[in-house]
Amino acid sequence: MGGAPVARAASHPARFIPAARRRRVAPYLLVAVPVLFLLAVVVYPMVYAIGLSLQYYRVGGFAGLHNFAFAFQDRLLGLGLAVAVHRTIRSASGRTLAYLLFIVPMVTPPVAAGVSFRLMYIPEYGILNVLLHALGYQGRPILWMSSPSMAMFSVISVDVWQWMPFVFLVLFAGLQAVPPDVVEAAAVDGAGGWARFREIDLPYLRPLLLLVVTFRVTDALRVFDHVQVLTMGGPGAATE
């Protein structure tokens, strides 16, 4: 009779092992549902889009960063404009005017920008072909949106026009943090413009360049408005 309580006590933990295990597993099961949802809705489409961006869109095969060549032009253009304005425009009113001019494309709705450029790209009476004809071009009208070789350039040019000012404003603000006395000392020591940019300006801009590239690559992966308004993915699948 004295051994019965011991037997019951020994069997007591065994009855609660499955419940304890369920308590340990339950949090993982609760977390697994949203994680699987994010993998299916966010991660997989992003990885798939990145994989497509690294292939030639017509013939297939690995293209590397070839498709991103035009996409990075607004970074280079914005950097060049920021350095040029920083070194040439010294007055506060001139810089304020530059700010206002570069903000206009950013506040323009993407659909409105796409429609405006679509009108400029019309082969018969679009302003681009009219200007080329006035400058002496006598060939056939350029099919900006109907030619597979020009359609991607037309779409990218709208995106560059609209978001290059963002690159300019961020990098121009970074250039304002460069100490003027350091630049003047380098000029007195005989450093040229390229040397001053490489050794003084660029170290201040590196964190901002990383920020700009991150934002613009993210924008490039989710661009839709300009493509839909200008070409609807055509001609064929040239701008899908």
Does residue 143 lie in a domain region?
A: yes
pLDDT at residue number 70 = 56
58 found inside a domain: no
pTM to 2 decimals?
0.63
Range of the domain at 167: 68-230
Statement to judge: residues 37 and 153 lie in one domain: no
Is residue 9 a part of any domain in this protein? Answer: yes
> Phi, psi at residue 143, to the nearest 5°?
-90, 85
Same domain for 35 and 73, yes or no, is: no
Number of domains in the chain: 2
pLDDT in single tens digits along all 240 residues of the chain: 444 554 444 445 445 456 767 777 778 888 888 888 888 888 887 788 777 777 766 556 776 666 666 556 666 677 777 888 877 887 888 888 888 888 888 888 888 998 999 999 988 888 888 898 888 888 888 888 888 778 888 888 888 888 888 888 888 888 888 888 888 888 888 888 888 888 888 888 888 888 888 888 777 777 888 888 888 877 777 776
In a domain, 13, yes or no: yes
142 and 224, same domain (yes or no):
yes
Residue 48 and residue 82 in one domain: no
- pLDDT at res. 7: 47
Q: Are 85 and 95 in contact (CB under 8 A)?
A: yes
* 172: CB partners within 8 A, 6+ apart: 81, 82, 85, 86
Residue 14 has what pLDDT? 46
Confirm if 67 and 57 have CB atoms less than 8 A apart: yes
- Residue 17, pLDDT score: 52
- Residue 72: the pLDDT is 62
